[in-house]
Amino acid sequence: MSAMQSGAICAAIGCALAIQGACADNLPAADDLNPVVVTATRTAQPLELTGSAMSVISAADLDTQQMLFVSDALAQTPGLSVSRSGGPGQTTSLYIRGAEAGESLILVDGIRINDPSAPDGEAVLGDLLINNTNRIEVLRGPQSTLYGSDAIGGVVNVLTQRGGPQAFQGTLEAEGGTYGTYRLNGAAHGTVGVLDYGGAVNYYDTRGISAACACDGNTEPDGYRNLGATANLRLHASDEISIDLHGFYTKSHTDIDGFPPPNFTFQDDPEFGRNQLLAGYAALNASLLDGHVTQRIALVGSDSDRQFFGVFGAEPPYTFTPARNFYAQGGATRAEYQGTIEADAADELTYGAETQLSTIRTASIYDTTPAPTTGRDRLTGYYGQWQSTLAQQLTLTGGLRYDQDQQFGGHTSYKLAGAWQFGNGATVLRANYGNGYKAPTLYQLFSTYSDPLASLQPEKATGWEVGFDHDLLDKRVRASLTYFSRSEHDLIEFDDCFPNFDIGCVSRPLGYYYNVDRAHVHGVETGLIAHPAQSWSAWLNYTNLTAIDELTGLDLARRPHVTANAGLTWSSKSGSSLGASYGYIGARFDDGANTTPLVSSENVSVYASYGLGGGSALLLRIDNLFKNRSEPVAGYGYLGEAIYAGVRLAL
């Protein structure tokens, strides 16, 4: 670490720690550090009652740091690490407490955007941009009791803006900078009569960098384009009845690199991919008995289309012509019912049922059969959760769920959580214990790589955590510490039949998916967020994680043992702001065999805005200030120092 980098991180840490002795008037309300969240219990609850480790990323955080990608915000969160294979738009994977990328659920306004056609069912996270975002809630640990499959690592819930005190509030943003990058965004929200609305359109374009690392002589930039839109409406039909309509759309084009002839090494070539996702949500809500009983019936649908255009059939002199090598189309139709009964101020029952039909159609030139792979699966679940607060201090939560899957049968999930407040609420001790599972994906079940020897079973996990949150300076500073542990079994791996040719390879010569692996993850998360003085904010977090493949005793791929983040921001009532953030990703291995190490990396960003009045501002941001050159994934490129400038206009 250079002296300048050390100075940057030490300054941020020093400021964060110095706040314990600070004293200032007119500090932000305590609710800034003790927010109300909805993801932990699927109902609105103060964070300190949930018993769970959670992080909330606010719209103010996103605006001040001028963040563009949701993955960049998640990378600053305790317990999370992000791996991106090159520049913007390239394959992006999220690991929550060391869980596989497909083992965590991603929601946007209640819509699951995990792709049912993807081999591991993960969301196309690289296409998820900040777009009219109100806040992002991150819930860590197994969460299958309320969310069913795909929630072993945790849940990320992106909530967009809707409604407001005015009929119309809008913003227009434009920025451009290094790598031929530019972005345009328009967003609006407000309330007109009985209608609360919000929506936005976003366009991002960059010439990019070479996906294959320039350190290996690759110079061709791999560009990326993304068009996205969100819609969030609520119609109040009466004092008791309302209708919600949500929409989500993204379409992208990403240039990538591959392994062209004649040497078939990873290098520049004209390959590219196209992704499209369209999803919608409609719900009828009823609030009865003065709000003590609420009911919701919802229909959710999504349709994904991924296409890959590669290079094949080339012969000397190797004139490359991209042609479609692969496509995958996935669909999900979901029906949900949820009810809540508030027996009194201290006791609440949440219950519900949901069913989802998922479909896939996919084909590749490398498949052993020419016909497209098709498949479908229905998963139906029923859940209930009771929450009770005793003596206004101890909140206990217990939940149970049963899922019935058309392909693999039934599965029962459970969760127990507790939160004990003492010292006039300044300290919260919390703990929870529960399990999670992930159903085999449609690709794993029905593709030409399905297990020929046995039926695939769900991946299963059991986890627990214990920790505390402590408020200082009249609840304007919060320090947190959490120890967590999770064991997984029946993990699905891929046998590539080389060099070990086994009996399954007779009918699957290119390989197949099968249940075999076990893993254990444990670690510590620490965090500190504060407002050291009027208009100032600081944060600091540190995660120490060990993720082991129990069959081999080796580290799981791309899980750093240590991650850390720190930042300091100042903002004024006039709309001006100034800040800096630091991110550290520790050493890790690129592969499960632990033969390819990845060195640690550091990134410092600085950002500023100058208020023009009325909510408008000029924007400036510098990323990778100290020119970190560490490969994020072995063989892939890294973004160098980049400068961006723009304008935000309030309408």
Domain ranges of the chain: 3-650
Instruction: Give the per-residue pLDDT at 261.
Output: 77
Contacts of 598 (CB under 8 A, 6+ apart): 558, 587, 588, 589, 590, 630, 631, 632, 633, 634
The string of DSSP codes covering 19-48 is GGG---SSPPPGGGTS-EESTTTSS-EEGG
- Which carries the bigger pLDDT value, residue 14 or residue 463? 463
Return the percentage of the chain with pLDDT > 70, whole number: 93
Q: What is the 3-state secondary structure (H, E, C) of 182-194?
A: EEEEEEEEEEECC
Instruction: Give the per-residue pLDDT at 505.
Output: 86
Q: Would you call the peptide bond into 262 cis, given omega within 30 degrees of 0 as the criterion?
A: yes
Does 16 score more than 60 pLDDT?
no
**Looking at 259-273, 544-558, 604-618, which range is the least confident one?**
259-273
Does 368 score more than 60 pLDDT?
yes
Does 633 score more than 50 pLDDT?
yes
Q: What mean pLDDT is reported for the chain? A: 90
Whole-angstrom distance, CA of residue 74 vs CA of residue 76 = 5
At 334, the amino acid letter reads R
Instruction: Give the per-residue pLDDT at 311.
Output: 72
Instruction: Give the per-residue pLDDT at 19.
Output: 31
Cα dist. 143→25, 404, 541 in Å?
Answer: 40, 17, 23
Q: How confident is the model at residue 640 (pLDDT cuts 50, 70, 90)?
A: very high
Q: Which DSSP symbol is given to 130?
A: -
| Topology of the domain covering 3-650 | Maltoporin; Chain A (2.40.170)
Instruction: Give the per-residue pLDDT at 588.
Output: 96
Q: Which of 39-48, 89-98, 308-317, 370-379 has the highest mean pLDDT?
A: 89-98
Distance, CA of 7 to chain centre: 30
Does 624 score more than 60 pLDDT?
yes
Residue in the block written with tokens 């309320």: 146
Read off the pLDDT of residues 490-519 as tens digits, 9 standing for 90 and up. 999 888 887 777 888 888 888 889 998 899
Mean pLDDT computed over 74-91: 95
Hey, what long-range contacts does 45-51 have (CB within 8 A, 24 or more apart)? 45/387, 48/419, 48/421, 48/425, 48/428, 48/469, 49/387, 49/389, 49/395, 49/419, 50/395, 50/397, 50/417, 50/419, 50/430, 51/395, 51/397, 51/417, 51/418, 51/419, 51/430, 51/431, 51/432
Q: Would you call the peptide bond into 260 cis, given omega within 30 degrees of 0 as the criterion?
A: no
The string of DSSP codes covering 605-624 is EEEEEEEEETTEEEEEEEES
Does 627 score more than 80 pLDDT?
yes
> Model pTM?
0.92
Read off the pLDDT of residues 411-432 as tens digits, 9 standing for 90 and up. 999 999 999 999 888 899 999 9
Does 245 score more than 60 pLDDT?
yes
Contact 42, 294 (CB under 8 A): no
Instruction: Give the per-residue pLDDT at 416.
Output: 96
Read off the pLDDT of residues 310-348 as tens digits, 9 standing for 90 and up. 876 555 555 667 788 899 999 999 999 999 999 998 999
Contact 461, 471 (CB under 8 A): no
Instruction: Give the per-residue pLDDT at 6.
Output: 42
- Which carries the bigger pLDDT value, residue 5 or residue 157? 157
- Which carries the bigger pLDDT value, residue 264 or residue 209? 209
Mean pLDDT computed over 393-406: 95
- Which carries the bigger pLDDT value, residue 257 or residue 34? 257
**Looking at 17-26, 324-333, 605-614, which range is the least confident one?**
17-26
Mean pLDDT computed over 187-195: 97
Instruction: Give the per-residue pLDDT at 371.
Output: 79
β-bridge pairing 601-613 and 577-585 = antiparallel
